Structure 1
Amino acid sequence: MTAAEKISQMRNSAPAIPRLNLSAYDWWSEGLHGLARNGQATVFPQAIGLAATWDRDLVRQVGDVVSTEARAKFNTVGKGDHGLYGGLNLFAPNINIFRDPRWGRGQETYGEDPYLTGKLAVAFIGGIQGSDPDHPKAIATAKHLAVHSGPESGRHGFDVDVSPYDLETTYLPAFRRAVVEGKVQSVMCAYNSIEGAPACGNDMLLQRHLRTAWGFTGFVASDCGAVDDMAHAHFFAATTAEASAKALRAGTDLDCGWEYGSLDEALKSGLINDSDLDLSLGRLFAARRRLGMDGSVDLYAAIGADQIHTRRAAQLALEAARESIVLLKNNGVLPLKTSARLAVIGPDADAVEVLEGNYHGVAVNPVTPLAGLRGLFPTVAYAQGAPLAENSYANIPETALQTGAGPGGAAGLVGEYFDNPTFSGNPRVVRVDRTLDFDLDRAAPAAGLEKAAYSVRWKGYFIPPAAGDYRMNVRLDQCWNCVHDQVRLFINEQPVEAGAVLHFDEKRPQRLRLEFAHVGADSGLRLQWMAPQGAQLDEAAAAIDGADAIVAFVGLSPDVEGEELGFDAPGFAGGDRTSLDLPAPQQKLLETAKASGKPVIVVLMSGGAVALNWAKAHADAVLTAWYPGEAGGTAIAETLSGRNNPSGRLPVTFYQSARDLPAFIDYRMAGRTYRYFNGTPLFPFGYGLSYSRFSYSGPSPDQTIQAGQPVRVKVTVANISARAGDEVAQVYMTPPADAGGLKRALIGFQRLHLAAGQSHEASFDLDPRDLSLVDAHGERAIEPGVYHLFIGGGQPGEAAGVEMTLTINGRMALKR
């Protein structure tokens, strides 16, 4: 290969080289909780929800489905060129530590604990890659190495001054486990710097730890645009060429972005030599060969389109959603009788985006909570009741849309779907759409349409719930640096500009027409409003009036928490949060519900913890359902009705207030997570209730061992209730004094299904490394002393369990 040809293959969008029979290939694909950004796929709970299952086997199965669907898309495109999001290298899992609940991207992680994160990462990687390292079904990419968890506003240029202790005890263990145990074949370096050296040019991370200490033999990809940040945000290099050279020589093999195009300049100026290119290219082409590309052995060529969203995959998505739900409070109101008349309220009750989270595929048959409850309960009244936050848009609910002006009109709008972008001819499909809330990312909105070009005209009536001012908006989920779709909204045949305020003097039907031409690459459409708060609360009160119980779906959404967002409202900033409180409009809605005197069940839907202090004190039941995936509504309805026995456990601490935490920008772990927090949490890490009750007995006797010897702990877990349920048995170690401030650490867990009255002897083989401690210099060793072990359904003092003492004699130093 010429130098130019070599350099062309070191960016994510690698062109074809016909003379070498080398196909074009884009290395950038996504698969965080389902194959993402490439049309319809199975959508599982967001990663934080998968973490709440504490179920390694389930997470492995999810990874297996993701890679199968990636292969199916790859194969059905054909054996030629594969573009963005169409490849077999998946930028997942995200195993950064969710150290602070204000971080908007924490939803993408497995929570705050390095042990739980590492074990689930190994499971997911195993599902993605399969059991044959020489022929992986797909390649997983553990990201973002390392010490990366916000704030989003400064992510491209912030420098972390992290102690050797925190680095070795918190920020690196999950990555080490992903490499050493999970055999991950790709790692992504982060945007930030560590002690002045950007992660993608950081020898300490990429050489000393990753390749030398952990023995990593795969390839390193940059986070997208991170090499450019090295020059223009960190000022670690004077030019893009110098930054590219430093990244390459540090061990970043693949540039997600355009920056490595400057390697020709770096080569000419002597900043790199040809052998530097060859080293990285060798790793990249070895990966392509293992994947079966370009004439290599392909063991997965038979996987076709029929393997996308199979019945098994859909059932797994439902099972994952069931297991992810965490019951936080129940005064006996749950489970509900299916004869109960329900009032369903809240901004998260009927929104597809709240099911899907971020980095997602297009759900085939998404079931919102409202739809799920309607499927199990015969009488369900609904009112949105509030927006997510002050001055924020919400999807216009079905209660404000009607096909006809009279009382006989159905909820929703009539949609005419054309198989061309110009509304020409007769519509291919005509149907009633209950709301206009569509995920259209590389997917057609109706059968018989091509995903590339179509148009839709919706007609009907907008019914304002009361007189007042209404701000109208059509949201397009816009692609980056591409042609955008065209949309026009008309009220009473008058065009309405985005964000326009319309005043209505009375509650009277207003003729509505929306025309949408899909001529670009935008990925979604939603019809939205800002409605008067009083009108929404009155609607909620009316829905509550005839109900036996109230189910309030409150929390957040990917519109307000996520990656580098533009959203700005009280409590929010650029995708992160400045407050953990439930936003004021939603809090007012809950108080309105409580004033009715009827039972209030709060279902939190979010990617991060919310300080539900009021709900804990005043609601009759509280659950958290995260962003639960395509089957979330079904799983929630089954849980509220008792068909599903809740069994999720918190993978993060729920704090009472952001004031209980150090500054968001402070990366020291002191005062953070259950391992170092000295306050009283609202709900602790590892916590979760069930409709069943469990007991623990018969622990192993106290043990004395020499440093480095294996330890086996046994305990009997019994279901002492009249119904079957799942328990998550957890093992915590409390170290001797002077362990760097570490209070306790999770070192084992098992998920157990127990029939009513059944008992089971659970056995835990504790890895000597997990019994080790780290000193102030970052050196890890098994230290002598008396250690206390707790085995139970949560942390010591928070759940039923048993204790034992482990005495370690001698000392054994461990390698990094």
Structure 2
Amino acid sequence: MSTVSVPAELPAEPPADQPPFRDPALPLGERVDDLLSRLTPAERIAMLHQYGPAVPRLGMRPFRTGTEALHGVGWLGPATTFPQAVGLGATWDDELLHAVGTATSTELRAFHHHRAPALGAGRHSLQAWAPVVNLLRDPRWGRNEEGYSEDALLSARLGDAFCRGMSGDDPEQLRTAPILKHFLAYNNEDDRTTTSSGVRPRVLHEYDLAAFRQAVATGSATGVMAAYNLVNGRPCHVSPLLESELRRWAEPTGHELFVVSDAEAPSNLVDPEHYFEDHAASHAAALKAGIDSFTDHGEDTATTFGRISEALGRGLLTAADIDRAVRRQLSIRFRLGEFDPGQGPYADTGWEAVDSPGHRALALRAATESIVLLKNGPGAADPDRSLLPLAADGRRIAVVGPLADSLFEDWYSGTMPYRVTAADGLRLAVGARGGETTVVEGVDRIALRAASTGGLLTAAGADARLVVADTQVGDEAAQFDLFDWDLGILTLRNARTGRYAGLVDEDRSLAADRVQPAGWDVHETFRLEPQGDGTEALRSVCSGRYAVLDPASGAVTMAAADASGAERFTRTVVRDGVAEAVAAAGGADAVVLVVGNDPHINGRETQDRAGITLAPAHERLLREVVAARPETVLVVMSSYPYAVDWADAHVPAVLWTSHGGQETGRALAAVLLGDADPAGRLPQTWYRADDELPGRLDYDIIKAGWTYQYHRAAPLYAFGHGLSYTDFALTDLALDRSRIPQDGTATATVTITNSGTRQGIGTVQLYVRAVGAVGYEAPRLKLAGYRKVRLAPGASARVGFPLAADALAHWSVSAGDFTVEAGNYEVLVGRSAADLPLSAPLTVSGPPPAPREVVGRPVRAVDFDDYADVILVDATPTEGDAVTPSGPSGTLHYRAADLDGARTFTAEVSRTAEGPARLEVWAGATLLATVPVPSTGARYAWTTARADLPAATSGVHELRLVLRGEQRVRAFRFDA
């Protein structure tokens, strides 16, 4: 039971000696102002660091911004662990995400009230750094596992639902304070602190901002974390969008957002990014741009304190700038109940909430409903029925694969209170049906013999330190299960300890004592590098050093800088993993083969994936097993989509699950054996292996062709795809009106019927598209709504979708706002972006788009309709974008520009190089002017370049600006 109680009633009058900020009856703003007035200037500055110190004279406790809570409470100890965020995204279920957020925040409260002191200073906060709503535009992104979807609407709705669960049901009192990550356009890990995401206005407003807007506008999110990268050449930590967009959206809620930095990002502004000359200037700029809390230098508050104090002394900041940020922090702390009697309404949360039976059941439900059935065809033995659900009564099921009997945590996971692997879940479920289960991981078990002494690498003693000992190959202490994760990256699990070998930092030795590869610097990954003579050198991926042997003691240390000084080992295969798997498959009635990724290897924070195909070792195992037993189910357990082209063509059944947390095995067993209907739907496109994906740093989803909205080639599995064990029919799509004005609303209704023989879950997906759009390149499809429906056999439901014209809008670069173009549209309903059997026409009435007015008004260069060979850059460090050629020249297109009366052309330009450069102005095929671009000596030193136009310039044309030579263009205008 809880040891903390809340008084049933607050006293009618606060005690005479109680300061006003302690009085919960006062308005929030008055309480914040009172407490702020009592803080000294130094105390206020100190609060700007992540680890805000206590103020004992006011009874204020230390405050840390940020506790990890992406899919359960992270880093604080055992807590309910839900599926990875991408798995939660696969549920397409707002209510479920709300429940997961509620459970997570309740456990976070329990840690706060019952375990925070034991965790140590600074380990815990009621501000939760979750969820991640960055859009999964590239399946190779190392942090793919952290986001919900490639679609802005789906991500926004799920993020809002999770935040509502985290913050609680009271708009003023917070259970926890969720923070959206990471603002903005952050989808690459390689060189993430120095790369710039080029985001033109249409992509910015229609896509990247759209994922953040709902949770901010509804007030469910209390803050935002800025991203590591730059956008259009400007670091996100000094982005004007923090104020011009995010905080503007939040204004109607009555609360300001509390914006935090990402770890070490404030220092990055000077060190790797070189955007500012010194840290005082960078911290001042970040604070003025809207950053309220600096996560930098770990628990060292003095460095940040010194930099901001220096900025204040140099006049780069004012006291008002500091007070503004402190006030935002205090507002969150008041709403969390910190200064209320009894610490507010959530302080009675009991410790029994952590890993409670209800939360275990929710974890099972989330893991089950996140599983996506990708393919379900007949097996060779019974061509008249689909292989799934598996018939297990009295049958032999082989559970095979490197992930068959392992559950992995990712970097942001909590510690699982228990683990039900795929093998565990199937053993229990198959055994209950009178069947038998055989488990084979399908990896080689090897021994490594040192060439210098002839001894074997062995896990010796209670501490499992690896030494070279005089023992036999049959000794389990000298045997290691070798897991091959691709690109030469291996993990070695000792047969005696059942634990993975890892580097010990203190003395550079190795110990086979790790539950799994983990940590920021993964110490459990190795390479066995051939030396050309049949031997191999053992190398630590973490340190880059090679194993050396002390022949006298047998001690092994990772000490050699190169292979020439390394011990050489000869590998002996004690057990052939593929052969063992093939034998198990041949003796079984069916096989469940589990492959995928380890979340800490070859794709994670700081590291993007090299490709999208399965590891060659996994692919080989798959093909060998299927040859031995065609009745094979492929389970891909992964943080990312994979190109499983061969499996789609040759394996009867394929399904995907993310790393689903503590209940993964029970969830898989329930779906595989038919106790649960597969309810998951893909939250992102699964591309084919030979599909040429856009470049990693091409953030323009429109021109590059990212996501289901713009990708041209047919995918392997489409966005929204997912099969069921029953059949759903969609019929009678109807719109209550077929014509609406540009600010109108229609309602779409459709009937979904379970026409199969068992209960199932159908997800009705509503899409829209423009027909014959002329003023802009419209998406091929755009998700406009979805609804999850549970139906018994034969049952039907009529599902309605309100459809505002806003769902048809695009960002007009000429108007600088969202616009619904008059014309024809289609409303489509189906089961995925590639399966849309029903459609209905919808006409939007209104005037046709007017030509772009360019005479007598400035036009921002970035407001182009199309482009070639240009890069978007910052116009100044604080605001504005500009355009520069990516090579010798670049071209900007502005459609339907009205040039009537134009007599002169003027452009705002800057240029650092000497020598000739020019800006050409074209109207269709006619060159109107050639404008010399002078050197201004600095990129932010802007000047105007002017040219007269031919007297006959008139009419509506496609306007082209051709930038020849090094230059930047911020804006231009025509004048009469």
Q: TM-score range by the shorter chain?
A: 0.7 to 0.9
- What is the aligned partner in structure 2 of residue 729 from structure 1? 764
2:242 match: secondary structure: helix
| Deviation, structure 1 residue 314 | 0.5
Report if aligned partners of 1:347, 1:388 keep a CA contact under 8 Å in 2.
no
In the alignment, does 2:362 pair up with 1:313? no
- What is the aligned partner in structure 2 of residue 330 from structure 1? 376
Structure 2 counterparts to residues 332-347 of structure 1, below 5 A: 332-339=386-393, 340-347=395-402
In the alignment, does 2:414 pair up with 1:361? yes
In the alignment, does 2:772 pair up with 1:740? no
Query: Normalised by the size of structure 2, how large is the TM-score?
Result: 0.69
- What is the aligned partner in structure 1 of residue 248 from structure 2? 212
| Deviation, structure 1 residue 654 | 0.4
Name the aligned partner's letter for residue 692 of structure 1: T
Report if aligned partners of 1:335, 1:639 keep a CA contact under 8 Å in 2.
yes
Q: Distance in 1 between matches of 2:686 and 2:609?
A: 14
Q: Distance in 2 between matches of 1:185 and 1:658?
A: 43
Report if aligned partners of 2:186, 2:229 keep a CA contact under 8 Å in 1.
yes
Structure 2 counterparts to residues 104-503 of structure 1, below 5 A: 104-150=142-188, 152-203=189-240, 205-215=241-251, 217-258=256-297, 260-261=304-305, 262-295=307-340, 297-331=343-377, 332-339=386-393, 340-353=395-408, 356-377=409-430, 378-386=435-443, 387-394=484-491, 396=493, 401=495, 437=515, 495-497=555-557, 503=570
| Deviation, structure 1 residue 382 | 2.4
Tell me: CA distance 1:598–1:159, structure 2 relative to 1, closer, same or farther (3 Å). closer
Q: What does the per-residue CA deviation read over 1:164-209, in whole Å, with 9 as the maximum and x for residues that have no partner?
A: 0110111100111121135311111111122222111111x11111
Q: Quick one: which of 576, 580, 595 aligns to 1:554?
A: 595
Report if aligned partners of 2:217, 2:249 keep a CA contact under 8 Å in 1.
no
Report if aligned partners of 2:224, 2:258 keep a CA contact under 8 Å in 1.
yes
Tell me: CA distance 1:62–1:83, structure 2 relative to 1, closer, same or farther (3 Å). farther
Q: Distance in 2 between matches of 1:768 and 1:490?
A: 75
Name the aligned partner's letter for residue 283 of structure 1: R
Report if aligned partners of 1:105, 1:561 keep a CA contact under 8 Å in 2.
no
Name the aligned partner's letter for residue 846 of structure 2: G
Q: Which moved more, 1:732-741 or 1:262-271?
A: 732-741
2:425 match: secondary structure: helix
Q: Distance in 1 between matches of 2:139 and 2:246?
A: 28
Q: Distance in 2 between matches of 1:635 and 1:395?
A: 28
Q: Distance in 2 between matches of 1:588 and 1:471?
A: 25
Identity of aligned residues (%): 33
| Deviation, structure 1 residue 591 | 1.3
Report if aligned partners of 1:118, 1:175 keep a CA contact under 8 Å in 2.
yes
Q: Quick one: which of 36, 47, 53 aligns to 1:9?
A: 47
In the alignment, does 2:734 pair up with 1:718? no
- What is the aligned partner in structure 2 of residue 750 from structure 1? 787
| Deviation, structure 1 residue 767 | 3.5
Q: Distance in 2 between matches of 1:104 and 1:56?
A: 25
Q: Distance in 1 between matches of 2:178 and 2:101?
A: 9
Q: Distance in 2 between matches of 1:102 and 1:218?
A: 31
- What is the aligned partner in structure 2 of residue 806 from structure 1? 842
Q: Which moved more, 1:154-163 or 1:537-546?
A: 537-546
In the alignment, does 2:676 pair up with 1:669? no
Q: Which moved more, 1:12-21 or 1:99-108?
A: 12-21
- What is the aligned partner in structure 1 of residue 686 from structure 2? 654
Report if aligned partners of 1:245, 1:271 keep a CA contact under 8 Å in 2.
yes
Tell me: CA distance 1:490–1:119, structure 2 relative to 1, closer, same or farther (3 Å). farther
Report if aligned partners of 1:335, 1:641 keep a CA contact under 8 Å in 2.
yes
In the alignment, does 2:741 pair up with 1:706? yes
- What is the aligned partner in structure 1 of residue 3 from structure 2? none
- What is the aligned partner in structure 2 of residue 680 from structure 1? 714
Report if aligned partners of 1:712, 1:766 keep a CA contact under 8 Å in 2.
yes
- What is the aligned partner in structure 2 of residue 511 from structure 1? none
Report if aligned partners of 1:548, 1:598 keep a CA contact under 8 Å in 2.
no
Structure 2 counterparts to residues 13-52 of structure 1, below 5 A: 13-52=51-90
Name the aligned partner's letter for residue 226 of structure 1: A
Q: Distance in 2 between matches of 1:637 and 1:501?
A: 44
Q: Distance in 2 between matches of 1:330 and 1:607?
A: 22
Q: How much is the aligned-residue C-alpha RMSD, in angstroms?
A: 3.0
Report if aligned partners of 2:197, 2:699 keep a CA contact under 8 Å in 1.
yes
Name the aligned partner's letter for residue 806 of structure 2: R
| Deviation, structure 1 residue 25 | 1.7
- What is the aligned partner in structure 2 of residue 765 from structure 1? 802
Q: Distance in 2 between matches of 1:283 and 1:658?
A: 50
Which sections of structure 2, spanning at least 5 residues, go unmatched?
A: 1-38, 298-302, 378-385, 444-483, 500-511, 520-533, 544-548, 559-565, 850-976
Tell me: CA distance 1:78–1:351, structure 2 relative to 1, closer, same or farther (3 Å). closer
Q: What does the per-residue CA deviation read over 1:12-52, in whole Å, with 9 as the maximum and x for residues that have no partner?
A: 11111212211112112111011111101110000000000
Name the aligned partner's letter for residue 323 of structure 2: D
Q: What does the per-residue CA deviation read over 1:778-811, in whole Å, with 9 as the maximum and x for residues that have no partner?
A: 521222111101112222xx33642111111127
Report if aligned partners of 2:397, 2:592 keep a CA contact under 8 Å in 1.
yes
Bigger radius of gyration among the two: 2
2:190 match: secondary structure: helix
In the alignment, does 2:65 pair up with 1:60? no
Q: Distance in 1 between matches of 2:557 and 2:625?
A: 35
Tell me: CA distance 1:72–1:471, structure 2 relative to 1, closer, same or farther (3 Å). farther
Name the aligned partner's letter for residue 249 of structure 1: K
Report if aligned partners of 1:111, 1:651 keep a CA contact under 8 Å in 2.
yes
Report if aligned partners of 1:772, 1:781 keep a CA contact under 8 Å in 2.
yes
2:655 match: secondary structure: strand
Q: Distance in 2 between matches of 1:560 and 1:28?
A: 25
Tell me: CA distance 1:472–1:24, structure 2 relative to 1, closer, same or farther (3 Å). same
Q: Distance in 1 between matches of 2:573 and 2:222?
A: 62
- What is the aligned partner in structure 2 of residue 787 from structure 1? 825
Name the aligned partner's letter for residue 346 of structure 1: G
Tell me: CA distance 1:200–1:504, structure 2 relative to 1, closer, same or farther (3 Å). closer
2:734 match: secondary structure: coil
- What is the aligned partner in structure 1 of residue 466 from structure 2? none
Name the aligned partner's letter for residue 730 of structure 2: Y
Report if aligned partners of 2:486, 2:616 keep a CA contact under 8 Å in 1.
yes
Q: Distance in 2 between matches of 1:78 and 1:384?
A: 40
Q: Distance in 2 between matches of 1:786 and 1:211?
A: 35
Tell me: CA distance 1:23–1:608, structure 2 relative to 1, closer, same or farther (3 Å). same
- Kindly tell me the number of residue pairs found equivalent between the two proteins: 708
Q: What does the per-residue CA deviation read over 1:732-762, in whole Å, with 9 as the maximum and x for residues that have no partner?
A: 0011324424111001000000001110011
Higher relative contact order (CA 8 A, sep 6+): 1
1:576 match: secondary structure: coil
Q: Distance in 2 between matches of 1:245 and 1:704?
A: 53
Structure 1 stretches (4+) deviating beyond 4 angstroms?
Answer: 78-82, 438-441, 468-476, 493-507
Name the aligned partner's letter for residue 761 of structure 2: D
Report if aligned partners of 1:220, 1:253 keep a CA contact under 8 Å in 2.
yes
Q: Which moved more, 1:584-593 or 1:292-301?
A: 292-301
Name the aligned partner's letter for residue 552 of structure 1: L
Q: Distance in 2 between matches of 1:83 and 1:115?
A: 39
